[in-house]
Structures are given as structure tokens and as C-alpha cells.
Amino acid sequence: MKGIQACPNCELLAAKLTLLEAELKALKRLIFAKRSEKMPSVKAGLKGLTDPEAAKKTRATRRAARKDIHEVRYEHKVKDCDKHCPKCGSNELKTLGEGKISTLIEYVPAHLERQVHVQETLACPCGEYIVSADGPVRPTEGGHYGPALMAHVVTSKCVDSLPLYRMEKQFKRAGLGVSRSTLCNLFHQSADALKPIYQYMLERMPSYSLVLADETPLPVQAENKTHKGFMWSFINDDYILYRYSRTRSGFTPSEVLKTSSGTLLADGFSGYNAVCTPERRTRAGCWAHARRKFFEAKDMAPEAEYVLEKIKSLYQIEYDAANAGIIHSEVHRQLRIDRAGPLLVQLYDYLLEQSGLHPPKSPMGKAITYVINNWKELSQFITDPVLPLDNNASERALRIIALGRKNYLFAGSDDAATNLAGLYSLVASCELHGINPEQYLADVLIRVHIHPHQQIEQLLPHRWKNQFS
């Protein structure tokens, strides 16, 4: 009896089986895992994040913020029936100090106000001269709605991700019957009024040395269907800029960054290649993207745990630098060279050893290939202390787009998506600097009409905070 011969395609079948098992595990994790378990934050594993001092500082910050809440004092008097002593029967009770004091945080619902503006009009007895007082400055010429209401509509949609039909219900409860079409008009009128600020943000973006970028799909309504557009985020030290485009091509990064030089921190997407050339920007890689690929591979390849530990060690260095107060300094740069440099050498050697041991199309094989192919970009941070390890700031900036997409489903048109990008840029930049976006918008919706155009930079959120807030 002849022995059983091995199948010549065994290795191929094993590779396919490994890939299918990995895809099945990834699908189960996507469907059944808790959201927090799908991709845990690297910071959660770093030493010292549960430091009691850090928690104490957080509580102190929250208490300080409560002091800014408008305070109303209520005096509670002792009942007449209790104003006698049960021991001696005396009715001559005296006040004991200021009394017992306690606080209660209460919510006072917002209210609408119908303002009637009366402009005094004077006339000369000669009948040749009549003069009227100036009326209120309106956000839009001939408009019937004030800047605070328009700011509320914008903030509700761009910050709270409320669809217009929900706002319609809220206004109805407050006593104002306003249609969705009117709310839509107010939203886009706000975008038109604030367009000079957004245009200035676009013009200034190329002047920043370090820019972080990312993109996400945004469905846009067309005739009888929707098409997939894209919302891009570009972040510098001063503000967050969103830019809408119909496609994911490299045209948008080129349009925004033009021929500027400096560094662009982004993932491995080829759409950024056009602006990352020797004559233009240096490309820096994102360790969060790399880490995610190994996290997805670890269930099928235990070797991925070694890589995840090395990446966590890179973040530990940054955490130590932050605790030491040396972020972005020359000391920080030297710390990266001394500690992160050897780690990268060890990691690269390990990946080269592992590269031939895993099928190229397996999760581990793909993760290894991604890091090796992007090694130069991922190593850029070593000698540049200003450069972050990852592009998480851009990803966080796109979460609000994803939440809005989930709630209001799509933008009404390409023009509507462009307006959405402009208003998102302003409110996200406000939140970046700890500014109440509703207060900012209510102010600049009026100020933008009377402010000198050559000084429009003063209306950027971070400048406005220092001059007008």
C-alpha cells in the first residue's frame, strides 16, 4: 500500500485558512465586542495614568469650572412654628453666623425673546431734514432671526450633531414654530456670512510648518441617490480646518497645502504623495495606524504582542517627557534619540526576522509589510521633538463628522457640504481652545460685517479669545 502523499497546495490552503480565521475573528470583534474593547487606547497601559495626583488635579479643574456658572442665592427662613426653644420656651432666637450653606446645580431651560426695536425718528420744522437712529446690526440683510439663534442652530448641528428635524421639535417646545427649511436657510446663511474667516483659514494653512491630515467619507445627496464625497481635516498649531471634496484624490491636499514646505503627518494613503516630495513636505508616519494593524493580528499571531509592547514603550517615553515638562524641547529630542532610537532598531530587526514567517496576506504579514514600507516616515519623530508619534488629533477631529453622518445621514448637496466644512472648522477650532462655540458664533456673525477685512485674522477663534471674549 502506497503512503499518502502530501498535497502540493498545503501551504497555500493553510495560508487561506489563516486569513479566513483572522477575518472571522475580526468580524466577531466588530459585531459583538464592546466599543471600548475593539481598540483600547495605548495610554491606558502606560504607567502612572491612575496617579492620585492626576485625578486630584482633574477634580480641581472641574470645581474651578463650576465657579463660572451664574450664581443665584436663595434665602430659606426658619418656620415660625420652629422659632421657639423646646428646652426653655424662649422665642428670642438669634442668628448663628451666616447659616448652613449648600449648593445645587440646576438647569434653567433656554427661552426665546421677541425683540421689538424702535428707531427714534426726528424731523426739522423746516421739513427738509429727517433723521432716524441706527437699527440693530443683523447677521443677514432683512433677516428676522438674531445672531444668537443662528449660532444655536449651527452649534446644535455641528457640535451636538442634531438633525434639523430634532431642532424643529425643540423650538416648538420653546414656543417657536419654525420649519426645517427655515432652519436650513439659517444654517447656510451663517456659513455665507462667516465665509471670509473660513477663506482666511484656507489661505493661511500652507504657512504652517507642521500639518496633520486625515479624511473620512461623507454621503452627499444627488439626483435620486447619494454619492460618496469626502471630508478632510487639516490641523496646525492654531486651528482645525475641514475641506470637502467629491473624491478622495490627491487634489484636495494639493489644493490646501499648495507648494508649501514643512512636515505632513498622515497615514499611508497615497493621496498625500503629491504634497510629500523632496521639494515640498516631508512625510511623517503614524504609529497609531501601525499599532492598530498589529492589534488586529494578535489573535492569530502571538508574535504581534512583542511589537505592541515596543510601541507602548515609545509612548511611555512621551508620557515621561510630558511629566518632566520638557515636551518640544531640545532635551525632549535627546530623550527620543537615547531611548526611542534603540527601541526602533530592535523593532526593525524583529520585523525583518518575522517577515518571512507569515503569509503576506495574513493580518500579521500585512502589518509587518506596512511598517517596513513606511519605516522612514515612522522614524521621522526621532529628531523632531515637535512631531507627535501619531495622527490621532486628526482622527479625533473626524469623529464629529462620523457622528453627524450617523445622525443626519448626508449633506444636501456639494455646496451644503462645503458650508458644513466651513462651520465645522470654526466650531472645532473653538473647542480646541476651550471657547464656547455658541458665544463665539453669536459675536462674529455681527462682527464680521463691521470688522476691517485686512484684520480678519483677529476673528479666528484663538485670536478672538484674546481680544473680544
- Please report, for the chain, the start and end positions of each structural domain, with discontinuous segments joined by +: 286-390
Tens digit of each residue's pLDDT (9 = 90 or more) over 207-226: 999 999 999 999 998 877 88
Tens digit of each residue's pLDDT (9 = 90 or more) over 353-380: 998 888 888 889 999 999 999 999 999 9
**407 near 163, Cβ under 8 Å?**
yes
Burial of 47 (0-12, 13-18, 19+ CB in 10 A): exposed
The whole-number pLDDT of residue 50 equals 47
pTM score: 0.83
Paired sense of beta strands 262-265 and 281-284, if any: parallel
Q: Give dist(CA 187, CA 196) in Å, integer.
A: 16
Regions in the chain scoring below 70 on pLDDT: 1-12, 14-15, 18, 22, 26, 28-58, 61, 65
Burial of 195 (0-12, 13-18, 19+ CB in 10 A): middle
Enter the DSSP assignment of 326: -
Nearest residue to 221 (alpha-carbon basis) of 408, 2, 385, 437: 408
The whole-number pLDDT of residue 350 equals 95
The whole-number pLDDT of residue 38 equals 56
Tens digit of each residue's pLDDT (9 = 90 or more) over 63-101: 776 777 888 888 888 888 888 888 888 888 888 877 788
Kindly state the greatest CA–CA separation across the chain. Answer: 129
The whole-number pLDDT of residue 301 equals 85
Nearest residue to 377 (alpha-carbon basis) of 469, 286, 466: 286
